[in-house]
Amino acid sequence: MTKRAGSAEPMSTSTNDIQDAIEQQRVSIAGEIHDTLLPYLFATRMRLETLVHRLQSGEAILDSSSVTTPVVCEEITKAIETLCQAMTIGRQMIGELHSAEVAEITWSNQLAETSQRFGSQSGTGVTVEGDFDMLVNDARRRLAARRVAQESIRNAIRHGRASIVLVKVEEQGDQQVALTITDNGRGFEPTELIHGHGLQIMEARAKSIGGSLTIQSQPGGPTRVSLICDRYDAAAAD
């Protein structure tokens, strides 16, 4: 439908539509906090807890004459840097609430940044095949897919202790696209972890864009996360 300049149309938004929009916004905000902000705060806490433990055990003494003082200062500096990154991300999140556009960063680069941040110490190899952004032009679907992929990579590295993660994007006919993340980690029993907050957010993200999320795993692995959604917004195409 094409609107004429200066024409007025009656509002047709129902209460359910408003509630759905509010719920999608809530899911989006909760997901951004969980996926983007909390990892930095968690890393800061771990650094400070490790430092406190070392101080309490006598490994490091806050004494200018101690050879361990530079190590203590270095750890505190890194914690401060991580907090600064969290603050920057917090400001970006506030700004993104006023815009539906995804940040100008490529699909592969964003996943590479996630892989580097969480896999640098574990040596996990992450391979990305296909480009979701090339197949889907809708900002909401792009953002949801990126967050599902990022959370899956983090889970594979942090919890699954995987050495290999494969992120693959494929067309499903003319109308749909499939995103799959497969890892060779230790796996888990889906019925025991399906209520985990991270998995709930991934499911909510898939639902918010009309997609479906499937998680397949077993103790000993492998684990496979699949997101299937439409490439185009049917309502926008009318």
Which residue did the predictor score with more confidence, 38 or 170?
A: 170
Rounded to the nearest integer, the mean pLDDT of the chain is 76
d(CA 21, CA 89): 24
Question: How do 212-216 and 176-183 pair as beta strands?
Answer: unpaired
Position 104 scores a pLDDT of: 60
Residues 184, 162 contacting (CB under 8 angstroms): yes
Share of the chain above pLDDT 70, in %: 70
What φ, ψ does residue 4 adopt, rounded to 5°? -85, 145
Position 234 scores a pLDDT of: 57
Over 50: is that where the pLDDT of 237 sits?
A: no
Position 27 scores a pLDDT of: 65
Share of the chain above pLDDT 90, in %: 24
**pLDDT band per the 50, 70, 90 thresholds, residue 213:** very high
> Which of 27-41, 86-100, 182-196 has the highest mean predicted lDDT (pLDDT)?
182-196
d(CA 167, CA 233): 24
Position 12 scores a pLDDT of: 40
Over 90: is that where the pLDDT of 59 sits?
A: no
Residues 160, 186 contacting (CB under 8 angstroms): yes
Amino acid at 127: T
> Which of 16-25, 34-43, 161-170, 193-202 has the highest mean predicted lDDT (pLDDT)?
161-170
Residues 89, 43 contacting (CB under 8 angstroms): no
Over 80: is that where the pLDDT of 238 sits?
A: no
Residues 227, 145 contacting (CB under 8 angstroms): yes
Using one digit for the tens of pLDDT, what is the confidence trace for 113-122? 778 777 766 7
C-alpha 225 chain-centroid distance: 13
d(CA 44, CA 238): 48
CA-nearest of 84, 151, 73, 81 to 114 is: 151
Q: Which helix (H) or strand (E) covers residue 149, if one does?
A: helix 139-158
Residues 93, 34 contacting (CB under 8 angstroms): no
CA-nearest of 45, 76, 46 to 60 is: 76
CA-nearest of 147, 127, 163, 192 to 39 is: 147
Which residue did the predictor score with more confidence, 135 or 9?
A: 135
Using one digit for the tens of pLDDT, what is the confidence trace for 129-150? 999 999 998 888 998 898 899 8
Which residue did the predictor score with more confidence, 209 or 30?
A: 209
Return the bridge partners of 183, or none. 165, 223
Copy the structure tokens of residue 108.
């592969």
Position 20 scores a pLDDT of: 55
d(CA 224, CA 73): 42
User: Judging by beta carbons within 10 Å of its beta carbon (0-12, 13-18, 19+), is residue 223 exposed, middle or buried?
Assistant: buried
Spell out the residues 6+ positions from residue 129 whose beta carbon is closer than 8 angstroms to its own: 166, 167, 168, 169
Which residue did the predictor score with more confidence, 157 or 34?
A: 157
> Which of 34-38, 177-181, 218-222 has the highest mean predicted lDDT (pLDDT)?
177-181
Position 4 scores a pLDDT of: 34
- Average pLDDT, integer, range 176-202: 81
- pTM of the predicted protein model: 0.61
Question: Listing from the earlier edge strand, what are the strands of the sheet with 164-172?
Answer: 125-129, 164-172, 176-183, 223-230, 212-216
**pLDDT band per the 50, 70, 90 thresholds, residue 78:** confident
